[in-house]
Amino acid sequence: MIIVARDGSGDYTSLQAAVDGVTESGRAPVIILMRAGEYQEKVVIHRNNIRIVGEDPETTVLTWNGCAKDTYPDGTEKGTFLSSTLMVTGHNVEVENLTVRNDAGDGRKVGQAVAVYAAGDRGVWRNCRMIACQDTLFCGPLRIPNVIEEIGDRRGAAEAVTRVEDGHLTWSRQYFENCFIRGDVDFIFGSYRCWFEKCTLFMNERGGWYTAANTNRHQPHGMVFHRCRLTGACGEGEASLGRPWRAFARTVFLDCEMDAHVAPDGFRDWDGERVVTERYGEWHTRGARADQRSRHPAQKRLTDEDAAVITLQEVIGGWDGWRPDRRTPTWFLCGDSTMADYPPERAPMAGWGQMLQPLLPENIFVQNEAINGRSSKSFIDEGRLEAVDLCLRPGDRLIVCFGHNDEKQQDPSRYTSPEETYPAYLGKYLETARRHGAEPILVTSVPRRLFGADEKLIPTHGAYPAAVRALAEREKVRLIDLESAAAVLVEQAGPEGSKALYCHVPAGHPHYPEGAADNSHLHERGAVKIAKLFLDLMSGRARVNAPDAACADAPADLGGLIAREDWVLNENR
């Protein structure tokens, strides 16, 4: 997780610097957590697989004052598409709990002033606030040449066209859920397929048009607003549902509530050529403007049968079956060095949590927040659990594995007693998970490699594993007794064979010139083995291999595990 904080307490003080610092991403998205504050910067998110989480949408604000009347050195105006506060050119970008604002002001003075320019594919916006005046939200491709020239190597993977105004056939999609979008003239516009779920559309005092689509004529769907609320601060009837930016524009309102600010005629023609057609429609409108008898004569009065086929999957599902309404559950790992991720220069040392993602099906993400040297206490005292707290959502899991550093009595910043403070701190993790509807899972520590004269493993964690077991029983949470199961695995490998599980490397290794004989931290082979063992324990079918197979590289058969585990989010969750 990357943390952005204006006061310097995070990894970066600006969002753009954090995005630029992301060099690559695996299957799971890189999480960028923005702490509360007002960030005055113009940002382009050009990386794929990014999840941006604001601490709170009311207090985490990204703002800029770009407008169409901004000029180049020669005095030429830059125009609409270089005015945005936040531009997204990457794919699979998710933004939540963030206010994006354009402070340029009234469009009658400054022209268009975009808050959000969503140019990538599979964009997800949850619980965001987008605030501007004219042209608040644009969902469409990049414009050649001026936009691409301006953003340079931040073009990302976004579509690009010579003129975005022409309504080219596009394939990119955007999803908005529980967002507040405020503006006036044409303030939601573009050519992409977009689904708005339970959003509030707020018209400024000036009045105007909520939407201006420029859907391509061969594109069956454009903008769909489902269970949204349309309101505003303008006078009664001064807010039109929309107008066609280009002929064949497609906009539909399904089961939406519209107050008296909405004009009785609903949609309006732009001019003599760009006119309302049956590609505009409403179904089950509620509120002060529920009566459709005065609507534009050309707009479609959708029947139940018409509305039934305008589904999220049909509109934005696409060839890949994208379902942004179903959150991909994330397993957040909180623990110490035995669980942590290691950089390439530390290889072959690895944490078992580092090996989980490749072993899991695609419908699960792993966010490994475990870090070397931390105890259940110091992890919390450093604010690490608080950061995870801000990112947890229903259906996620919080997997907790401490103990190695809780034992260090000589270090009061880390030490916890197994009788009192250790279970008390672990309880804070349980409370955090439950508060969000996530599942807490307690895990006992990986054993150290210490054999007695009888070639039996000597337990070194004292009363700490027993404290975890007792807490899990008392709190009725899932327990993964990794210590006991891994001890059997290590004993089966024997004093010599077990060296292959831990970071034992000969002298001359490029990362360990003098060699290493570490009996606490795992070798990549051992990390994979322990990760597989963890998943077997999760499924209730733990399997311990024979000693001669202790370091086998063959992947575990996860068929039974997947069958037993509800890892795909339920539609109603």
Residue numbers of the domain that contains 498: 330-564
| Same-domain check for residues 505 and 492 | yes
Based on the fold, state whether residues 374 and 419 are members of the same structural domain: yes
Considering 170, 202, 218, which residue would you say is the last residue of a domain?
Answer: 170
Mark whether 417 is an active-site residue.
no
Query: How would you write the pLDDT of the chain (573 residues) with one tens digit per residue?
Result: 999 999 999 999 999 999 999 987 778 999 999 999 999 999 999 999 999 999 999 999 999 999 999 999 999 999 999 999 999 999 999 999 999 999 999 999 999 999 999 999 999 999 999 999 999 999 999 999 999 999 999 999 999 999 999 999 999 999 999 999 999 999 999 999 999 999 999 999 999 999 999 999 999 999 999 999 999 999 999 999 999 999 999 999 999 999 999 999 999 999 999 999 999 999 999 999 998 889 999 999 999 999 999 999 999 999 999 999 999 999 999 999 999 999 999 999 999 999 999 999 888 999 999 999 999 999 999 999 999 999 999 999 999 999 999 999 999 999 999 999 999 999 999 999 999 999 999 999 999 999 999 999 999 999 999 999 999 999 999 999 999 999 999 999 999 999 999 999 999 999 999 999 999 999 999 999 999 999 999 988 654 443 333 333 333 333 333 333 433 322 222
N-term to C-term CA, the chain: 25
Residue 238 lies in a domain: yes
Question: Are 494 and 404 found together in one domain?
Answer: yes
For residues 479 and 531, membership in a common domain is answered with yes
Q: State the catalytic residue, choosing from 273, 305, 362, 514.
A: 514
571 in a structural domain: no
Q: Are residues 251 and 108 in the same domain?
A: no
572 belongs to a structural domain: no
Q: Answer whether 244's CB lies under 8 Å from 269's CB.
A: yes
User: How do strand 330-335 and strand 478-480 relate by DSSP bridges?
Assistant: unpaired
Claim to verify: residue 389 and residue 294 sit in the same structural domain: no
Whether 281 is in a domain gets the answer yes
In a domain, 13, yes or no: yes
Q: Treating both helix axes as pointing N-terminal to C-terminal, what angle do 524-539 and 482-497 enclose, rounded to 10 degrees? A: 150
The CATH number of residue 284's host domain is 2.160.20.10
Q: Which of 445, 521, 523, 539 is catalytic?
A: 521
Q: Which of 121, 147, 170 is at the close of a domain? A: 170
The pLDDT, as a whole number, for residue 23 is 84
pTM over 0.75: yes
Same domain flag for 425 and 483: yes
- Is 521 considered catalytic here? yes
Q: Provide the pLDDT for residue 542.
A: 59
Tokens 């903008």 belong to 223
Return the number of other C-beta atoms located less than 10 Å from residue 10's C-beta: 19
User: How many domains, the chain?
Assistant: 3
CATH number at residue 472: 3.40.50.1110
In whole angstroms, give the CA distance from residue 258 to residue 265: 12
Active site residue 25: no
Which of 116, 142, 170 is at the close of a domain? 170
Cα torsion for 171, 326, 282, 170, to the nearest 10°? 0
Is the domain of 94 the same as that of 59?
Answer: yes
177, part of any domain: no
Tokens of residue 377, six digits: 């206490």
Q: Is residue 539 part of a domain?
A: yes
Q: Is the dihedral of CA 403, 405, 411, 414 positive or negative?
A: negative
Residues 27, 135 within the same domain? yes
Determine contact, residues 195/176, Cβ cutoff 8 Å.
Answer: yes
Q: Which residue is it, tokens 């207090």?
A: 59
| Selected catalytic residue, list 337, 375, 376, 498 | 337
Same domain, 494 and 377: yes
471 and 529 inside one domain: yes
In 3D space, the residue among 253, 231, 250 whose CA is nearest the CA of residue 183 turns out to be: 231
Q: How far is CA 391 from CA 23, 287, 324, 367, in A?
A: 22, 35, 17, 10
In a domain, 570, yes or no: no
Whether residues 93 and 237 share a domain: the answer is no
Bridge-based pairing of strands 349-350 and 516-523 is antiparallel
Strand ranges for 149-213 from DSSP E: 160-161, 173-177, 180-183, 188-190, 193-197, 200-203, 208-209, 211-213
